[in-house]
């Protein structure tokens, strides 16, 4: 495919009009290659910015730590 077609596929994916699979097909590349192409253009295949993903991981770790202390029964060893 032409570079213009790849850019169009990226833009349609970015706007939410195409899934990653359909955009990859339009771009004429495998889905994994398309995900790499997204990263080359500063886009996340997860629909979030890298700092948002870092925040999600931080919150998930905090919630996991919090829930593990809640699920203990009296007499359980720490």
pLDDT value of position 30? 94
Instruction: State whether residue 47 is helix, strand or coil.
Output: coil
Q: Which residues of 34-71 are buried (b: 16+ CB within 10 A; e: fewer)?
A: bbebbeeeeeeeeeeeeeeeeeeeeeeeeeeeeeeeee
pLDDT value of position 52? 67
pLDDT in tens, 32-78: 999 999 989 988 777 666 666 677 778 788 877 665 555 555 555 55
Alpha-carbon torsion 35, 63, 51, 19, what sign? Answer: positive
pLDDT value of position 46? 72
Tokens representing residue 51 in the block: 């700092």
Statement: residue 5 has pLDDT above 70: yes
């Amino acid at each position: 495919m032409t570079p213009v077609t790849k850019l169009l596929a990226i833009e349609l994916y970015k706007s939410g009009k195409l899934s990653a699979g359909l955009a990859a097909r339009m771009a004429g590349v495998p889905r994994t290659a398309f995900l790499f192409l997204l990263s080359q253009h500063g886009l996340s295949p997860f629909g979030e910015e890298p700092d948002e993903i870092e925040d999600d991981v931080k919150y998930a770790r905090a919630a996991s730590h919090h829930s593990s202390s809640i699920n203990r029964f009296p007499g359980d060893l720490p």
